[in-house]
Chains A and B, each alone.
Chain A
């Protein structure tokens, strides 16, 4: 169903020539430079942070100063106009502990092996739960890890997410205040999921007369040692409807040999929020990684996913669901790099767009010379519920090996009229029939979510978001 027009275009590669940044970018950059000076001067951590972090921050900021915010003249940002985000002046996370209460947090939590809560960019130990974890496992705040075990962080921080050509990774690397650090020694298996919950309180800056929106730069690092196993859920949510703020997370994963990493990212930011995320992962021999990106909130959202299959026999699953309406914009930029032979990568992204929503899916599969027997599959399917919604889909293959299996496909379609009529002819109302078919389209991804509370939450979201959701609830 929902596949009327099959569009399978291969993009032309436009050379990203060194276009001069637009004038306002220079201004924006200088604001960030000033902010950085103040940030470094005011944070008590600056004095104690390891030197590699100090260098990372400075180098990243220099890189940002050089490249500025991306313009739509750049190939990778052609469809994503970040000007609305770039023109705003933000405040950075303060030092005061958050005033958020456990009661406000509890609707967002569920039974997990550990729940690490971050409010407005700061770790909230009082709201977090650290249960019993296997010996040698670290699951806690990155800032804490940098203070207590910097040698475990050093080899990995910044190893996957490169700030060199990416303004948002650069800003994150310069300004991150905290995030989660998960470290699994060889053979450690954590059965229950670990929940990383990032909440935006939506509160204006205490004592900040001009009430600038908050910019947060969560930095997460997941290091899964050989033959370890972990399941991680990242949730981004807002405690205030329609709050304006900017979340710019970077999550890096290193999946060691034979490790199993299941990752979920649930993005339910306020509809007025900016969310520019990077997820960068590297897999070693025979590792298996799956990641599901669920994008429901946010006004202007970008997810860069960079996967490096760097060991023979590694297996990657990258799935996603975006369900947006109004004037929401969601962009997924995928880069899957097959560096070694006998690796598998399967991607399935589905989008449901209503109102004036717009989506971009840009999926590049790059197979390096020598990465024989690569099996790469990519699919992006979009369902448009309104005539004003637009889905852009742009799959790309770059193959430099000769014995590979690579497929890609993308579709943009509407609900199938025959299916609607069939359901109606059995007594289901027109609105419920449309909702039922929409749910069925999305359920393909929903059913793949192995963490039950996440799956249930998503189902509830769909029942609430779809007209006549109560009929859908009993019909699925």
Chain B
């Protein structure tokens, strides 16, 4: 198993957001995680990436059998985890290309591979840029600075293509994209699908999943995976919205909690 999440509980500022997540993703698979706003989707992505504001109170995350929670964010990246940010950060003064070269070489060094020189890197970059139809002018610019929303998301996929992670987590990469940009991003992701790589695609809307067809779909409500299924589950959610499933989950919770309340 490439990614194993076991009974994951996580809080931010003392408030529990994830309340027992179990998820197993195998190499070559694409899993979609859907859910209403506030269900904990982005929290899950950030916990996977190692953002410090999120405190894991219980549970385990294993990446290729290694304890991810024991690692700093950079170690996770070097171990093959990648997160495409929902809101990529603008970093004035840091060149998009040179920074990526330093990142790639940090990853390669960790993997025991030879560091790339400027020429090798440039030819790699040219090739990967085509994947997301990125304009070469974006290479020389500072990271994400002055990029449009679509350019930022494409840049995330471009970073992913260069770093070649084993596990890629896409956090609402579709948000704010028009249909053309969405297609480009999805094509980029599809080109990177391989038997050695797994994807966790976090999205609110089913639309992206028309282009990145998932093997499994999970529905997150109130910090728990309440339903899992095939790609048809996404279509059902698209048609019916999230309300029915939320009501079903919360109704069940209320009725099961009711006797306890009475008993007290």
What is the interface of chain A, defined by CB distance below 8 A to chain B?
Answer: 1, 416, 418-419, 421-430, 432-433, 436-437, 439-441, 443-444, 471, 474-476
Are A475 and B94 interface neighbours, CB within 8 A? yes
Tell me the minimal C-beta distance from B67 to chain A in angstroms: 18
Are A428 and B93 interface neighbours, CB within 8 A? no
Q: Is the interface of A mostly helix, strand, loop or mixed?
A: helix
Q: Is B199 an interface residue (CB 8 A)?
A: no
Tell me the minimal C-beta distance from A174 to chain B in angstroms: 45
In the bound assembly, the distance between CA atoms of A84 and B252 in angstroms comes to 75
Residue of A with least CB distance to B144: A422
Are A426 and B93 interface neighbours, CB within 8 A? no
Q: Is the interface of B mostly helix, strand, loop or mixed?
A: helix
In the bound assembly, the distance between CA atoms of A421 and B72 in angstroms comes to 10
- Which are the 3 A-B pairs with shortest beta-carbon distances? A440-B93, A475-B102, A427-B77
In the bound assembly, the distance between CA atoms of A236 and B214 in angstroms comes to 64
Tell me the minimal C-beta distance from B26 to chain A in angstroms: 23
Q: Is B74 an interface residue (CB 8 A)?
A: yes
Partner of B92, one of A1, A418, A423, A426: A1
Are B93 and A432 interface neighbours, CB within 8 A? no
Tell me the minimal C-beta distance from B117 to chain A in angstroms: 10
A422 CB contacts on chain B under 8 angstroms: 85, 88-89, 91, 143
A437 CB contacts on chain B under 8 angstroms: 91, 93-94
Are B74 and A475 interface neighbours, CB within 8 A? no
Are B92 and A425 interface neighbours, CB within 8 A? no
Q: Is B100 an interface residue (CB 8 A)?
A: yes
Are B78 and A440 interface neighbours, CB within 8 A? no
B99 CB contacts on chain A under 8 angstroms: 423, 426, 428, 436, 475
Are A475 and B101 interface neighbours, CB within 8 A? yes
Tell me the minimal C-beta distance from A61 to chain B in angstroms: 48
Known contacts A424-B77, A425-B73, A426-B159; A475/B98 CB under 8 A: yes
Are A425 and B95 interface neighbours, CB within 8 A? no
Are A423 and B91 interface neighbours, CB within 8 A? yes
Partner of B93, one of A421, A427, A443: A443
Known contacts A427-B77, A474-B101; A441/B106 CB under 8 A: no
Residue of B with least CB distance to A440: B93
Are A421 and B105 interface neighbours, CB within 8 A? no
A425 CB contacts on chain B under 8 angstroms: 49-50, 73-74, 76-77, 82-83, 85
B74 CB contacts on chain A under 8 angstroms: 424-425, 427-430, 433
B106 CB contacts on chain A under 8 angstroms: 427-429, 432, 471
A476 CB contacts on chain B under 8 angstroms: 94-95, 98
In the bound assembly, the distance between CA atoms of A423 and B89 in angstroms comes to 9
Residue of B with least CB distance to A476: B98
Are B102 and A474 interface neighbours, CB within 8 A? yes
Interface centre among A426, A440, A443 (most CB of B within 10 A): A426
Are A474 and B103 interface neighbours, CB within 8 A? no
A423 CB contacts on chain B under 8 angstroms: 91, 94, 99, 103
In the bound assembly, the distance between CA atoms of A444 and B94 in angstroms comes to 11
Interface centre among A430, A433, A441 (most CB of B within 10 A): A433
Q: Is B107 an interface residue (CB 8 A)?
A: yes
Are A427 and B51 interface neighbours, CB within 8 A? no
Interface centre among A421, A425, A439, A443 (most CB of B within 10 A): A425
Q: Is B163 an interface residue (CB 8 A)?
A: yes
Query: How would residues 219 to 242 of chain B score, 1 for a CB under 8 Å from any chain A CB and 0 otherwise?
Result: 000000000000000000000000
In the bound assembly, the distance between CA atoms of A167 and B99 in angstroms comes to 48
11 extra interface residue pairs, beta carbon distance < 8 Å, beyond A419-B91, A426-B163, A433-B74: A421-B89, A422-B88, A424-B73, A425-B49, A425-B76, A427-B104, A428-B74, A430-B72, A439-B93, A444-B93, A476-B95
Are B51 and A436 interface neighbours, CB within 8 A? no
Residue of A with least CB distance to B89: A422
In the bound assembly, the distance between CA atoms of A423 and B163 in angstroms comes to 13
In the bound assembly, the distance between CA atoms of A427 and B73 in angstroms comes to 7
Interface centre among B92, B93, B101, B103 (most CB of A within 10 A): B93
B100 CB contacts on chain A under 8 angstroms: 426
Known contacts A421-B73, A475-B98; A426/B103 CB under 8 A: yes
